[in-house]
Chain A
């Protein structure tokens, strides 16, 4: 289901790093040999290099590649180069392109492009509804036959509960998950930021937490009734996490993701009036952030997703309310989470690695990256002691709408091996 540029599988030896695969239970200084793209030997290291960690490479389940339609903002080539630089060995691309990925023709063209240009394997979502209009089901079975990994109307909710139910029913024949953008549009209205103390003071129209959580509750109720699994995109609110926890306790098969910005920032950041902290769902309160962190720690939220959303500079360099929602994240995700969460001891490195690799892969039934003999090499080598400054000119992405511009981060990706090929080396 994932496609990338063809090429010879690589041979390489990575010596002396701390090999850390929390799911496989590996944590030792090892020399790792890769032959023709497959891990063939794990041997005790002859000498170890302080600060170097070799881990299963990351999987990003939520990327906007902007192709087709907005190739000025991102292309399959630039987006996958950015992913490789961020340590990702696989990404899933959202279907809210121009045109929307709602037909086998559009999907087929994207897959052809990825075969030519993708530096790391890419999977493509199909839309749930035609044109993401929330009115008519897309031809899900045909999309699945042509390689859609899963279905989503990301960017928009499936507003109608009746249509949502039909989507759950019909998607069952495809054995693909629905991934849901939970937003009750009559509650979010023209909301620009989280509704709370900061929006009250600044005057921005509020986008309340409950606009997300009522849809989370609705979708979980429908999933329970239809006995179907689903995936919840970019959760932001405590009430959503509570609903998910309750659904898990009741046996609902639901997975969920959270973004680096929701895990690191709160609505207080909007006081800067910087359009690079404008995203949907919006940054929420410290209490919401705490709930997301608890859920990430205990696995209720099993995946980190960047929601990498490139935007042209001239579209973001406008007053906040005029700017589109979304920020980039592929090239900074690990470093900012390592700096802001692992550094101060909020979560462990092991948890972060699991949520950036195993969790997202499993959420969509993909083979989770493993470091073991006989496994395909999907590896990321990280220098955990190296600091770097986030600068616009360093991005491989075609867009630079990052909330981290100017920040100094610790933790630098040195090497990414994706599907047995070196995709990035610094």
Chain B
């Protein structure tokens, strides 16, 4: 079975650094997460300077290959690459050869001809990033593959929470909503596990996947349990998944009345997160989304520095774990 943890490229000549990917939170150890969050903090302080651009990845090429629409993930990867002085280009499925029926493998091979250092891919199907990693020499970052993984989202959520609470270990997170169709939920369950946080999944029975408890979380269908958590993490109710006849819930209206996160269902001051884009009035009440205890804007800002840290980490040729400060000074 192919190794799904951080892939080490055995094919490189001796002395060359191993090729790394970020395909899944499973790729990471606790130390990897700590290093990435520390690097992100270093970048955050660098962004307070008047000139925000760092020369760190000058001459590197980063390709964003997006097969699904995205606002925040694509924009933050683009900006992260630009802030690090990398050359970057973004390819969207609409308007590309994908429209003409080109396979993912052929598109990846075409882009590989430009020798990109990193390919960031978002794709509606599970395992697309693994396929790109297999057929190209680039380092690959998974920016969301179907219902599987969205590892940079999970990292930015850890970063946000740690900034807010000062710790991650022992924090109790209630993830609310459509877990079944959510790559954010899957990456976040693994990420919270990795740092010693406790996770409770809350939602309608058919949207809590059978067997999910084996990932080390609890499940509940009663929305009242979210009050016990330190943080309420609200998932987007994916209207596009609610096709007629699926009957996961009788209606969005009933979903909202049973599982919508409203001011009455949370404690005053309880932290609330949402990966976006929000359906205001469906999974989250606008009063909750706009309250001071909602971390939604903080999450977006964290996305930029965390993605800078991921790109930097993958392209660092020093030994794994080299402090980011050292590299910044050289830069």
- Measured CB to CB, the residues of A under 8 A from B are 195-206, 208, 269, 271-274, 314, 317-322
- For the A-B complex with A200-B214, A206-B210 known, give 5 more contacts whose Cβ atoms are closer than 8 Å: A273-B130, A318-B103, A320-B125, A321-B127, A322-B125
CA distance A273 to B123 in the complex (A): 15
B297 interface contact, C-beta 8 A: no
Contact pick for B211, options A195, A271, A272, A321, CB 8 Å: A195
B210 A200 Cβ-Cβ under 8 A: yes
Number of interface residues of B (CB under 8 A): 26
In chain B, positions 77-111 with a C-beta closer than 8 Å to chain A are 103-105
B126 A202 Cβ-Cβ under 8 A: yes
B19 interface contact, C-beta 8 A: no
CA distance A306 to B149 in the complex (A): 34
Q: Interface readout for B3-45 with A: 1 if CB under 8 Å, 0 if not?
A: 0100000000000000000000000000000000000000000
CA distance A272 to B134 in the complex (A): 12
Q: When A203-B183, A269-B1 are in contact, do A319 and B209 touch as well, CB less than 8 Å?
A: no
Closest to A204 in B: B126
B125 A321 Cβ-Cβ under 8 A: yes
Q: Which residues of A contact B209 (CB under 8 A)?
A: 199-200, 206
CA distance A41 to B103 in the complex (A): 59
The 3 closest A-B pairs by CB, nearest first: A203-B147, A273-B127, A319-B125
B281 interface contact, C-beta 8 A: no
Closest to B181 in A: A203
Shortest CB–CB separation between residue B260 and chain A, in angstroms? 24
Q: Interface readout for B111-155 with A: 1 if CB under 8 Å, 0 if not?
A: 000000000000101111011000000000000011111000000
Greatest chain B CB density within 10 A among A195, A196, A200, A202 is at A200
Contact pick for A197, options B126, B127, B211, CB 8 Å: B211
B2 interface contact, C-beta 8 A: yes
Shortest CB–CB separation between residue B154 and chain A, in angstroms? 14
CA distance A274 to B125 in the complex (A): 13
CA distance A298 to B103 in the complex (A): 47
Shortest CB–CB separation between residue A25 and chain B, in angstroms? 42
CA distance A204 to B149 in the complex (A): 11
Q: Which residues of B contact A272 (CB under 8 A)?
A: 1-2, 4
CA distance A321 to B123 in the complex (A): 11
A271 B1 Cβ-Cβ under 8 A: yes
In chain B, positions 240-267 with a C-beta closer than 8 Å to chain A are none
Show 14 residue pairs from A and B whose CB-CB distance is below 8 angstroms, ordered by the A residue: A196-B210, A198-B211, A199-B211, A203-B148, A208-B210, A273-B127, A314-B103, A319-B123, A319-B131, A319-B145, A320-B125, A320-B126, A321-B125, A321-B127
B274 interface contact, C-beta 8 A: no
A317 B210 Cβ-Cβ under 8 A: no
